[in-house]
Amino acid sequence: MAFASSNGEGYELQMGRWSRRLAPTFIRFAGTTGALRVLDVGCGTGNLCLALVQDPEIVSVCGLDIAPAYVEFANRRIDDSRVKCQVGNACALPFADASFDHTVSMLVLQFVPQADLAVREMRRVTRPGGTVAAATWDTRGGFVALRMIYDAAAMLDPNGHQARAAAYTRPMSRPAELARAWEDAGLTNVVQDSLTIRMDFASFTDFWAPVAGKDGPIAGYVGTLSADARGRLQDTVRLAYLDGEADGPRSYAATAWVAKGTVP
């Protein structure tokens, strides 16, 4: 299922708030400190771009995303002349060879139809000695909130198991897939690891709001259901969220695979 993209505010509710939490630890892993030129492939609403320019030594950050609504939102919210976001395709990056010191991508490669080609493009536009790094959610084994919804869907909806399988088997989302793609692209000194954040929700309403929206793969799936089926899914997931206690705050772990390598 494709990544449904409607507007920047919807993405912020669905994923942007978690991107902000993951970005600082991902940047430390990627090792972009002090870089001159950095490319952010799949920049979304600009959270990684914003985190990158917290480093005063970075001269410029170029963000690229296929969703015009997200790019417009990012350019409107980021008040830093070093950052510029533009619309573009990760599989055909509109830049010359060796244009950037480092290229990074956070939480997008699993939604790129030709993810291996995107990795090769990231290598192409990065200078020799530069780093290419990415993060993708461990959707099958490390994303509790996602499992709560898709496992319920698989139980209730005849097509739910197909939606769950598609979510859990996206490219670059399983162990060693990132490292293998990095090595196949000819990158050296390849390192794969994992990073974990907490997803904190104020209430079930806060948890369910992005599901009922128009952005992201879960909202895309839920949007295909009838009103009755959506209601049954919401009621079932609410029981999982409450888990025998009163409604209120909940905190769930979310783990991302990360990989980096050097352009020879």
For 110-150, how does the pLDDT look when each residue is reduced to its tens digit (9 = 90+)? 999 999 999 999 999 999 999 999 999 999 999 999 999 99
Question: How much is the pLDDT for 1?
Answer: 46
The pLDDT of residue 26 is above 60:
yes
Give the mean model confidence (pLDDT) for residues 197-218: 94
**Model confidence over 143-171: pLDDT tens digits?**
999 999 999 999 999 899 999 999 999 99
Q: Is the pLDDT of residue 86 over 50?
A: yes
Taking residues 50-75, what's their average pLDDT? 96
DSSP structure string for 31-76: T-TT-SEEEEET-TTSHHHHHHTTSTT--EEEEEES-HHHHHHHHH
Q: So what's the pLDDT on residue 4? A: 65
How many C-beta atoms surround the C-beta of residue 6 within 10 A?
A: 17
Which has the closest alpha carbon to 52: 72, 74, 26?
26
Mean pLDDT of 69-78: 95
Closest Cα to residue 149, out of 128, 129, 163, 131? 163
Q: What is the pLDDT of residues 100-112, one digit of tens each?
A: 999 999 999 999 9
pLDDT at 154: 96
Average model confidence (pLDDT) across the chain: 95
**In terms of pLDDT, which residue wins out, 35 or 226?**
226
DSSP label at 120?
H
Tell if the pTM clears 0.85, that is, is over it: yes
pLDDT at 7: 81
